[in-house]
Structure 1
């Protein structure tokens, strides 16, 4: 992974976030339980599927992520 591949976008709003994942404006207890909505690498909308056991989120360019 190069510096250009480092996470740079908020997973909740898609805006630039230094350090990636989320930024202070979107970081609250409610969003901690929500699945990501935007790819942290390219800010594209994710295809999210939620089930009783967790969630999966897929970016058309960067692949799939699943809950833990």
Structure 2
């Protein structure tokens, strides 16, 4: 598993800053495969799409 903000392995390092930032912004990396996701932000939320694992929404 990977951090969905910075893309680094979730088990390594400190991801407290990533968790804090994720409260205000959408994910940038797929937590399953570490690929960069296509992100669209709209006033009502966001969608993030991984070509391998599909779409996540807020």
Deviations 1:36-61 (A, max 9, x none): 00000000000000001100000000
RCO higher in structure (CA 8 A, sep ≥6):
2
Structure 1 unpaired stretches of 5+: 1-7
Task: Extract unaligned runs of 5+ from structure 2.
Answer: none
1:49 to 2:40 alignment:
yes
The alignment's TM-score, normalised by the length of structure 1, stands at 0.73
Secondary structure of the 2:47 match is strand
Q: How many residues align?
A: 55
Matched, 1:13 2:9: no
The runs of at least 4 aligned residues of structure 1 exceeding 4 Å deviation read none
Q: How does 1:1-68 map to 2 (within 5 A)?
A: 8-18=1-11, 23-28=15-20, 30-67=21-58
